[in-house]
Structure 1
Amino acid sequence: MEVKLLFVIVVALVAIDHSDSNEIILDGCRGECYGVEVPYPFGIGNSNVGTPCFLEKSFELTCNNTISSLTLGNIPVISINIYQGQADMLSYVSKYCYNSSGVSSTTTDITLTSIRSFTISSKDNKFISVGCNTYGYLNSFYNNTEGYSTGCLTRCYGNNMEIHDGYCSGIGCCEVDIPPRMREISTIAGTFDFENFTGPLDFNNNCSYSFVVKNGNYTFSKEHLVNLPFDTSTVVFDWSVGNETCEESRSKGTITCKGNSTCVDADTGYGYRCQCKKGFEGNPYLHGCTDIDECKTGQNSCVSDHNCHNTNGSYICFCPKGQSGNGTKEDGCHKKNVLPHIFIGASAGFIAILVGTCLLYLTYQKRKFFKLKQKFFEQNGGLILLQKGKESSHTKIFTANKLKKATNNYDEKLIIGRGGYGTVFKGVLENDTVVAIKKSKIVDAGQLQVEQFINEVIVLSQINHRNVVKLLGCCLETEVPLLVYEFVSNGIHNENKRNNFNWENRLRIATEAAEALSYLHSSASIPIVHRDVKSANILLDEDYTAKVSDFGASRFVPVDQNALATMVQGTIGYLDPEYMQTNQLTEKSDVYSFGVVLAELLTGKKPFSFVKLEENTNLATYFLSCLKEDCLFEALQVGILNEGNKQEIVEVAIVAAKCLRLKGEERPSMKEVAIELEGIRLMSKCHWVNNGDKNFEEIQHLLPMSSSSEKYEHGDSSSGSHQNTKYDSIIKDQEVLIALPSGR
């Protein structure tokens, strides 16, 4: 009875996590080609929904119907092993033949320099040369320059007595090891004076052969001296993912190894491989590895499978009722001695004590868990929220269990964005509502983190605007605080979608974003400065309605104050130069950042380039210089300009230039910007604006006038050259705290 109780306790303490998925390919992708299985991270083309079937471009394969083979580039692939990180491919044999008609030769090149993920395995291949009076070279190349060579030779001198089938000993056949880390090679076969050689061997065709072949895939025969019976050989390639080590990828959050797997640096000097942990199997690059049931597969050391209990990643051996021992084949099980009744009674008493102790322990744990939730509530700013009860009364409080279930225990596959203050997950609540859940990062000095989190709750709870992302609620009873938002599926920071936006959509999105910022500055009970206005924080719903998001850095500006003294915070390329110099945050700082967004929508360029060779690293400077030099239309993104919208584009460019003035007092307010953009939209709907008889040359003449009279009338404060010098000096001299986009 004691053994049974202990067994139940042990089983209760073991967490079993089985996964139903043993898939090795992505959904909607082709899983094989001419009998060859194609496991992820490899893939053939795109899925039936248009997404790539491969992890990265170097793993894209082709099902070549012309040669009835699966190929990587132009190399046929015959098998792929995701557990050992290897792939078997075919390579041609190099030949050098001599007969009465003359000499013929072929050289084999294996070129994978463009696919650095693949390396010829030095452990699983051999370089072999076959023939009499034969030599073979294996040359390696790096960047089209010869690196190093190896090879072997064999001479028979007409003596066939020492040539034996099955032995590649150096007479008739020779072999050498493959040097490590070879990606691009050339094999060459040659002969020693075949033309003058005569001997007792009767060769119908005097040929020499050289090739790389997988260990064990070739057995020498004397008949091969007359004719080698194959033209291709199997070669083993080692492959790896990524282009950094495990540690570097893990620190950047780009590692692809999934659950129950480990990361191993590739010994080829490039990237890494993923391997399932002991006791697990599956595809570590796709759904992760699942538990192996050792009790069903016979991979256990128990007396029998009936004496085996499977656990997550391992198993437990036990003895049948009435026997004692550890249940393994080594020690086995033994029959118990009949215990006196006194020991049975003592056992019953012990069990009663044990049960009572367990109940007390469970009660203690429950109280401890309750206190821990209270601690997290206070630690995550719950008391601050209670003190601000009126401001946050409309905020719903979610339990940790509901949000954990909504995100499938915060599955990494549901991550839709990462930012300076946390990670955003896509989740589905019990009522099938799709939400975005922001999980803040854990930091040692957590007070600033808590203030940022509570600040965002308080700011968003007061906002009710169609162009501002809606806060649904929060959760404070976990170690990491959580915010729950409405889910917005798109963003103008998505490069593919942004390139497809026509001018009308861009103008509408800019107008809606301006209206949202105008609301924050002018209509909220206390003016709110967003402080991180950028294209990544302007999201689009299903109807492509703009919604401003991410208020983690936002600040209230009391009615009796015009500016706040704060540590400079924002995203490089969007930061207000005046704010960076003075640390004085005003509503005009958002206006400057919005001007950069307008320049992005017009030019399609990034706000700041970190490439040293890039001519125009700062978009604001570049954009203003284009206006000054009358080359606006040359700077526009290809595809948005047409005969009907030239004047609208000029007007929007003028608004952007006003926003980008260096002095905050010279910039318009967001309310004025929103009114101007709405006016331009209404103007575009009027028939006279699209009149083909409108003289475009007159409109173009407005640009330099506007540039000089409107945008540059304040002298050096807004000149392109001055701003460039000023901005560069600020970047060098001012330490700026950059908050990465949260992706929400």
Structure 2
Amino acid sequence: MPLPLLLIHAALLFAAAHCQLDSYPNCDRTFSCGSITNITFPFHGGDRPPYCGLPDFALTCLHGNTTELADTFRVLHLNQSQKSLLLARSDLYNNTCPSQLRNATLNTSYFSYNTLPQNEQLTMLYGCDTSTFNSTGRNATELGIGRDNRIKCNSTDSNLSSAFYWIGPVPSDPILNIISCNISVNVPMLKTAGDRLTNSTLSLGEALMQGFDVSYSVRDERLCSQCNNLGGQCGFIAAADQFICICGDRVCPFPLTLPPTPAPDAAPDGNRNTERSIGLFIAGAVLTGVGLGWLVFHCRQKRKQKLALMSSQTASKDISSSPSMRGLLSLPLSHYTTSIPSYPSTKSDFGRESSDFGVQVFSCAELEEATNKFDRSRELGDGGFGTVYYGVLSDGRVVAVKRLYENNFKRAEQFINEIEILTRLRHQYLVTLYGCTSRRSQELLLVYEYVPNGTVADHLHGKRAKSGLLSWPIRLQIAVETADALAYLHKSDIIHRDVKTTNILLDNDFHVKVADFGLSRLFPNDVTHVSTAPQGTPGYVDPEYYQCYQLTEKSDVYSFGVVLTELISSLPAVDTNRHRHDINLSNMAVNKIQNHTLHELVDSSLGFNTNSSVRRMATLVAELAFRCLQQEKDMRPSMQEVLDALNGIKDEDSNAHKVEIVDLCMDDDAGLLKGSTTSKSQDSLP
């Protein structure tokens, strides 16, 4: 068979096989082993299948606490934000005389280590013939081979006898050039460890256990970044040597933009035409395979859409006839549609918008399919009123589906309330509502945009806390953006009523999306407060609201004060393992501030004690949190005042002097803090 036809035939076979393998589950999981935690693409291993990363980035967990890379190197440290590793040879770890000696290398297409300035070369020679020393009358010391340069191996194996090591270049003495050694092993090591080895303050085994630095990079990384920004997970098909973007457990239906193709001039003149011809045939074959795969996908989707059409039409009728919705439906259409994002129309009818309700009405069947029947592995979070699942709609949108626990009057009220709030608002730091199910559906489901980077709580004291990604500038930016969203709500006559770090979502660039409006209240313009039974999360609830049943905008301000305290301390709002006076973080913060011991509250990793700029700004934020946590609501600033103060701190401009600078760690007067009262602790709310 001619080469072009053979290439096309092979490409079509691969495309057909690739279309059959349309499930790629578990790439949303992370790899964790001992101190190495929350590792994602390009690495794979553990619960992450091979297609979730690159072949050269395979991780293995040994004995539950030791991570190995490619079954050759022990991973001592891994920092994905800096794309760096600290590795040590597994065969030489605490063992300078292994039974099998070999040179181990990393793929230099991805990894760099020999050229890094912090590393140097160590050469280990085994089974050397030292008779040359005796015949020339030279001894090892004359050649720079001191006693400390010998490797002592307690073995009868001749390959492990008369062993030496050198740090850096091997000595160039002519006598050494004729020394015969059976095995030569080159190992990178840290220069700091090499210096200590030279000074005899570290043994050879200990120096090897210090490891060596490695930096890594991934080609076509823009594809992966684009995939993440669209809510997908990066994957890689080794057989095709290509990236894939996975939505849920399938390849995302939207295309990714490829980087520019290298110029033909890069090929030698003699091979240029041949390589160009082969490239064209391969490109044509791959495009043919992709076309076939898309055709299969399209046929399957068309069948699914027909099955779901009837249920969606029923759902649309249900929602318009529901008595609970009539109050909403009676409002003008423009009251809602201004905040609904516009998406390209599809041939699917079951995702169409209800012109009466202002948001898309989804059938339960469609959302079950989007979430793989609410698979537990797709759970994003579990709150007081429902569970949130990762999902992918038939039109390719990646979404978060909130499934309320019960379909009763109270849940229906929260369901309607959240829809009403979100359909009249549009703000860059508020989560977007895409749609919902019918009020009379079997289940109450809300569909939001998917925000991929977890919650602020996750990063401060949850499952992502060890990543160390929340630096002080990022925390301050989170505070500013959250305050901006809350100030916008208050200007719109809305009280959130459940402000907490688990309701503040983060995208891949750590920008804020405030979520969960089930408890929110529309605030009448002509009253100063509304009376309602306290609801919310213990540790965040305004004590005056808790005691007097009066809900005001200042209730959100108090809750935000707790959020500010979490941002500077990395501690949860409630922790029963703390001293009884410190169980509530708000009480703990007020006590630390009044006692001039702010340094005991601020997270030490932020550089509070070493960076004067961080110290100054963190002190100002703590003072602002103190004002927000005042027990009497009239003593608290408005949310707009809080936003202005935070912007002044962030910009370090002329606005900053308007906020009184009080060094809460010193023993001088505490300014406005002096004489303030401590908030009382709150019991758990019903």
TM-score by length of 1: 0.46
Q: Over alpha carbons, which structure has the higher Rg?
A: 1
Higher strand share: 1
TM-score w.r.t. the length of structure 2 is: 0.49
